[in-house]
Structure 1
Amino acid sequence: MRHIAIVGSGPAGYYTAEAALKQWGDEVRVDIFDTLPVPFGLIRTGVAPDHQSIKAVARRYESTALTRNVRFVGNVMLGRDLSVAELQELYDAVILATGAPHDRKLGLPGEELPNVFGSAAFVGWYNGHPQFAGLHPDLSHQTAVVVGNGNVALDVARILAKSEDELADSDIVAHALAGLHDSAVRRIVILGRRGPHQIAMTPKELSELAKLSRAHPVVDAADLPPVEADAGLDTGLRKSLGHLRAFAANEDNRPDDVTVEFDFFAAPRAILGEGRVEAVEVERTRLVDGKAVGTGETYRIPAGMVIACIGYQTSPIPDVPYDEQGGRFANEEGRIAPGLYCVGWARRGPTGTIGTNRPDGFAIIEKVAVDIPGDSGKPGRPGFDTLAERRGLQVVKFTDWQKIDEAEVAAARTGAPREKFVEVDKMIEATGRV
């Protein structure tokens, strides 16, 4: 029998568990640990609340979770409740699938002003992550600046721009819906250091901006390269450019609309204000060998809020080698140290889609199979249970999560799939074990 501990219950964690089942069948036991009492990681707290079709992938993870070989171990934090070394004593392999839950810093003057957020925090606020539920962003200003040219920037801009009716069938949490209801934001500026050919925005997400009831996207046609320059691009990027060109050509906009403005070749240089955000100083850029280089021309965008969507980094764990520059665990193709591995964003950084984690999980299990060819005699699950009882850990199992899930669905407002608990204590209370 092999005993595998996976730390992190998001896509990378569950795809890795699925791979372990296919590799060893009934000869493996997998425990999936998570700090929160609820599983599925960014599917729950990262994917936009109005993208319910994407969240449906959790049903696949549920089928893995319900096998007797796999167990969810929620409400257990590495570093607080037990250490990596202790896990390694108990399990044949420990696989870190912790994702990249922390924001990269802008590194700009004024970044510490109130109402400047990273996307992990802001997205966590409207998705009900317990760490960010109390964020209280100030939406009383007319203009918000979103920094970044990827899909997360589009998600943030779209949620800010949507009407309450458009969010009715999403699982956005109540406190965020109330805050957006009272929002004064009418201008959303998306800053990108480079140009349209360098965006990381996919066609589907761009197309959604054209379907908003009270908002319209704005692109300056002068920022767009000639159509013939699109010829060498991949199909997805060409489609994305097609949407940007359509936005630039659209003049049928109501003056009372919310605007989502794309400001290309624009690098933020400072966030300005006395005690609060008042403006963003921006420098015009040009491309030199594909890199954005400042031109010296600067201007200011009056704004009351800034949201940086420039990437994420993995949380360091004591005694685990860490790659500061890459914002991930130091590893060689997923191997960190004997018996210790990483997978998903914790291995490669925040790149790829949800589905990218599946081959990643299968690849790491192949390495585990090579490194640990037989039963090492480690105690595995029974050993952890003994430790948890000795320390009085309040472990949440998948059957407990099902009770939380049932309670959230029952509490949903009309038309919505659920109303999430945003406090850990409330989640545990819903299990009926308190």
Structure 2
Amino acid sequence: MPHVITQSCCSDGSCVYACPVNCIHPSPDEPGFATAEMLYIDPAACVDCGACVSACPVGAIAPDTKLTPEQLPFIELNAAFYPKREGKLPPTSKLAPVLDAPVVYRRPGGPLRVAVVGSGPAAMYAADELLTQEGVRVNVFEKLPTPYGLVRAGVAPDHQTTKRVTGLFDRIAAKDGFGFYLNVEVGSDITHDELLEHHHAVLYAVGAPNDKRLQVEGMGLAGTATATEVVAWYNGHPDYTDLPVNLSGDRVVIIGNGNVALDVARILTADPDTLARTDIADHALAALRASQVQEVVIAARRGPAASAFTLPELIGLTSTCEVVLDALDHERVSADLAATTDALTRNKLEVLSKLGSASAPITRPRIRLAYGLTPARILGDTEATGVEFTVTGSDQVEQMPAGLVLTSIGYRGKAIAALPFDEASAVVPNAGGRVLEPASGRPLAGTYVAGWIKRGPTGFIGTNKSCAAETVHNLVADYNEGRLRDPHHKPGAIGRFVRGRKPEMIDARGWAAIDEAERTRGGPTRPRDKFTAVPDMLDAAADAPSRPLRQRLLAGLLR
């Protein structure tokens, strides 16, 4: 009874290290790990010990006999990753190599102190790596009153298993030496130089918060937006609660066909009663209940073989939604299948070849994948009424009516105050996470990056684990070798300083109060009912109990 990795795989590699027989690949030390769509269990090597199940932070692994009908395709998908061995046994009985935790050499002046800017996966994995050592202190700064970045505001509400990684982050935040400074914006409430006065190093893990913008006529009209903005809207991000999302028409067009496009299409066509059992924002649920949308078209410039979505997401989409192709796109799929030798691409095309026909009557909201369409302009005078495409590689024009037009063509990093920024690649220039001065190419003292702002918007939630580990190892090496300047202030001074600047700062107790209040509001049927306005979050945080007297006395001694 081999175990199987399913759609919600986050690729953080914990299962790899837990497996006693090295049957999960690619592992973080292998070349294909950073770009792998998911990890795979070798069914011939699996010994059914269940160690990977316990290690997985998102519940993506189960015995093959306990899969749901929708998960059954993942049995074949896992097995297909491994070559046929013609009767030979797979290599077993050896642990995958584990990168040793960085050893911090203690100094007389006090513990290593690191400020981490951002609170998403890269930030939390970096904090976890640092806190493997006793005496290290990590202070995480986040501009929102709630932590965990795109796990809270980017993962689709119907993917609750993926959101289970927040349980791991909660355990990291509960470690000795960890501190939350939420509702504090670095760059305005506190500067980079001020952080360095209180810490040996500052590590930025702020992601790539901007969308790549489609440069065609009509973008910016009412009824246009980005898919990322809609994701933030239905996930309750406080900056996007008032986003105008027009669902009064019978069609939505999404330009771009990555995983985010699939997420948005799935939510816009889902049964609202099903979504009502998730943590979707109340305003979004109300809008979806009133929606008139019957079809979401996901339009791509290139052909089916170049689809940007991953195979696991495609399998998940087709198992829960009606997804169709028109006759021309079915022909494109067949042509690509005949010409493709790459195994992963063939697997995607095989799934696409089994989709239904767009000529069938629409009986419930559906998703249509469309290929070979290059956007030329958005139709409409004051508001969007559709999209004009050219058929890729030709002068043929096709107009597609739509009441809402979304773009989903990727993410882009944003410049950070006091740090260099490469406009072309939209990342902070760095070597292994060490930020580099643009003129000299030398490391900028005490300044580091991890996650998408370091490497660009590639990989998945768990890919940030190995990325953050590399940065932390270099940071600790710099500390051990005396290249990081000691802070000017005692460890306890940072809390008083930040509260003086931002009295509405929320600490770990405040976040715990918000978290508990949201879970209570969710009742027995929902994982949580999110606050979507900052004042409501602050009110909930204000109900947090005071710190025990012992902790307050200790904080006073550390000032």
Residue of structure 2 aligned with 1:269, choices 364, 376, 387: 376
CA shift, 1:315, in A, is: 2.6
* Residue 48 (structure 1) aligns with: 156
* Residue 2 (structure 1) aligns with: 112
CA shift, 1:95, in A, is: 0.6
Report the secondary structure of 1:296's partner residue: coil
Go from structure 1 to structure 2 and tell me whether the alpha carbon gap of 1:34 and 1:185 turns closer, same or farther (over 3 Å shift). Answer: same
Q: CA offsets per residue over residues 357-402 of structure 1, 9 Å max, x none?
A: 0000100011102222157431364232232243243221122111
Distance 1:377 1:318 in 2: 22
Go from structure 1 to structure 2 and tell me whether the alpha carbon gap of 1:55 and 1:295 turns closer, same or farther (over 3 Å shift). Answer: same
The residue correspondences of 1:41-120 to structure 2 (distance < 5 A) are 41-120=149-228
| CA contact 1:31–1:381 (8 Å) conserved in 2 | no
> Which residue type is aligned with residue 128 of structure 1?
G
Residue of structure 1 aligned with 2:486, choices 356, 377, 388: 377
Report the secondary structure of 2:468's partner residue: helix
Q: Does 1:198 align with 2:297?
A: no
> Which residue type is aligned with residue 486 of structure 2?
G
Q: CA offsets per residue over residues 60-93 of structure 1, 9 Å max, x none?
A: 1111100111111101001220111211222111
> Which residue type is aligned with residue 267 of structure 1?
T
Report the secondary structure of 2:239's partner residue: coil
Go from structure 1 to structure 2 and tell me whether the alpha carbon gap of 1:433 and 1:169 turns closer, same or farther (over 3 Å shift). Answer: closer
CA shift, 1:253, in A, is: 5.2
Q: Does 1:357 align with 2:460?
A: no
Distance 2:466 2:358 in 1: 44
* Residue 331 (structure 2) aligns with: 222
Q: CA offsets per residue over residues 280-314 of structure 1, 9 Å max, x none?
A: 011111xxxxxxxx322221111111111111122
Distance 1:216 1:196 in 2: 14
The structure whose Rg is larger is 2
* Residue 433 (structure 2) aligns with: 334
Q: CA offsets per residue over residues 12-50 of structure 1, 9 Å max, x none?
A: 00000111122xx11310001101111111000000010
Q: Does 1:19 align with 2:118?
A: no
Point out where structure 2 has 5 or more consecutive residues left out of the alignment. Answer: 1-110, 436-443, 545-559
CA shift, 1:413, in A, is: 5.8
Distance 1:399 1:222 in 2: 58
* Residue 395 (structure 1) aligns with: 505
> Which residue type is aligned with residue 245 of structure 1?
S
Q: Does 1:143 align with 2:242?
A: no
Distance 1:226 1:342 in 2: 40
CA shift, 1:209, in A, is: 2.9
Per mean C-alpha deviation after superposition, the further-off stretch among 375-384 and 80-89 is 375-384
Distance 1:340 1:116 in 2: 38
CA shift, 1:162, in A, is: 0.6
CA shift, 1:136, in A, is: 2.7
* Residue 155 (structure 1) aligns with: 263
Per mean C-alpha deviation after superposition, the further-off stretch among 83-92 and 346-355 is 83-92
The residue correspondences of 1:169-208 to structure 2 (distance < 5 A) are 169-208=277-316
> Which residue type is aligned with residue 106 of structure 1?
L
> Which residue type is aligned with residue 259 of structure 1?
R
Go from structure 1 to structure 2 and tell me whether the alpha carbon gap of 1:413 and 1:179 turns closer, same or farther (over 3 Å shift). Answer: farther
Distance 2:362 2:173 in 1: 51
Per mean C-alpha deviation after superposition, the further-off stretch among 365-374 and 402-411 is 365-374
Residue of structure 2 aligned with 1:418, choices 514, 522, 528: 528
| CA contact 1:216–1:258 (8 Å) conserved in 2 | no
Per mean C-alpha deviation after superposition, the further-off stretch among 389-398 and 257-266 is 389-398
Go from structure 1 to structure 2 and tell me whether the alpha carbon gap of 1:433 and 1:410 turns closer, same or farther (over 3 Å shift). Answer: closer
**Which is richer in strand?**
1
C-alpha RMSD of matched pairs (Å): 1.9
Per mean C-alpha deviation after superposition, the further-off stretch among 63-72 and 331-340 is 331-340
Q: CA offsets per residue over residues 331-372 of structure 1, 9 Å max, x none?
A: 233221221111101111111011100000100011102222
| CA contact 1:127–1:172 (8 Å) conserved in 2 | yes
Aligned residues: percent identity?
A: 36
Distance 2:499 2:347 in 1: 55
Go from structure 1 to structure 2 and tell me whether the alpha carbon gap of 1:380 and 1:144 turns closer, same or farther (over 3 Å shift). Answer: farther
Per mean C-alpha deviation after superposition, the further-off stretch among 350-359 and 386-395 is 386-395
| CA contact 1:6–1:33 (8 Å) conserved in 2 | yes
| CA contact 2:294–2:362 (8 Å) conserved in 1 | no
| CA contact 1:149–1:201 (8 Å) conserved in 2 | yes
| CA contact 1:101–1:120 (8 Å) conserved in 2 | no
Residue of structure 2 aligned with 1:281, choices 377, 382, 388: 388
| CA contact 2:304–2:332 (8 Å) conserved in 1 | yes
Go from structure 1 to structure 2 and tell me whether the alpha carbon gap of 1:64 and 1:111 turns closer, same or farther (over 3 Å shift). Answer: same
Distance 1:396 1:408 in 2: 16
| CA contact 1:113–1:277 (8 Å) conserved in 2 | yes
Report the secondary structure of 2:430's partner residue: coil
Report the secondary structure of 1:394's partner residue: coil
Q: CA offsets per residue over residues 252-273 of structure 1, 9 Å max, x none?
A: 9553232311111111111111
| CA contact 2:184–2:502 (8 Å) conserved in 1 | no
Go from structure 1 to structure 2 and tell me whether the alpha carbon gap of 1:412 and 1:389 turns closer, same or farther (over 3 Å shift). Answer: closer
| CA contact 1:81–1:393 (8 Å) conserved in 2 | no
Go from structure 1 to structure 2 and tell me whether the alpha carbon gap of 1:95 and 1:419 turns closer, same or farther (over 3 Å shift). Answer: same
Point out where structure 1 has 5 or more consecutive residues left out of the alignment. Answer: 286-293
Residue of structure 1 aligned with 2:348, choices 235, 240, 247: 240
**With structure 1 as the length reference, what TM-score do the two structures score?**
0.92
Distance 2:458 2:300 in 1: 18
Report the secondary structure of 1:178's partner residue: helix
Go from structure 1 to structure 2 and tell me whether the alpha carbon gap of 1:49 and 1:380 turns closer, same or farther (over 3 Å shift). Answer: farther
Distance 1:266 1:369 in 2: 49
Distance 1:243 1:4 in 2: 47
Per mean C-alpha deviation after superposition, the further-off stretch among 167-176 and 316-325 is 316-325
The residue correspondences of 1:268-347 to structure 2 (distance < 5 A) are 268-285=375-392, 294-336=393-435, 337-347=444-454
